[in-house]
Amino acid sequence: MVKNCMYLLLIFSFYSCNENKSNLISAIDFNKMIKLDKSAIIIDVRTPEEFNKGHLKNSLNVNWFDENFDENVEIFSKDLPVFVYCLSGGRSAKANEKIQSLGFKNVYELDGGILEWRKNKFPEATLNNNIDNSLSVEDFNDFIETDKVVLVDYYANWCAPCKIMEPYLNEISSQYSKNLELVRINYDENLPLVRSLEVYGLPVLQIYKDKKIMWSHVGFIEKNRVEEQLKKYIN
């Protein structure tokens, strides 16, 4: 009872103090808030195909790429809180801004998208019998559609060089977090994607800027050599 009161107080604080502002909230807080506020409108802005594979319970699919996105959103009451998410945050950030511009008073965005939700092992609903969490080319394009430089790491759990490189890649990600996004893709779990991208051999590192591949390397590489390449593209 005490915990519920505290969470309700948290929700009230969000709604009253942050009206008309963009709120990027963690998966943990997102989960708490949608559980406690039964009036919440939960919008999944991914494609119907993505939505069908797995989505948050009670969420509604309003595809960001639909030319009628504005009209589809405006059917909802603008006085109710709106919770929006996508795969990793690229589309939801744009949708968040658009929804607020349409006059919605309280809009909340899931930081890190459904991928972050899954990291926390929160439940999903599905319209299919099996949830397929493998990444598509569309998902990959969503990752690289950012103002930041993107470092893509293709790895496998059985790959020894991959395991050696992982700690320093995380260090690089933390050190350059303002200008760099690290995307790690498990080779075995995403075979259709890596094949379509013509990724062969492991480990593979790639640098993307403005959605264009700027550098690629196959095999083990030292940290300082990776940083040398990154510094060419990070402002």
Q: Which residues are tagged catalytic?
A: 86
What's the 3-state SS for 28-83?
HHHHHHHHHCCCCEEEECCCHHHHHHCECCCCEECCCCCCCHHHHHCCCCCCCCEE
- Separation of alpha carbons 225 and 72, rounded Å: 48
Torsion sign over Cα 139, 92, 9, 57:
negative
Contact in structure between 154 and 188 (CB atoms under 8 Å)? no
Strands 204-209 and 149-155: antiparallel
- Separation of alpha carbons 97 and 107, rounded Å: 9
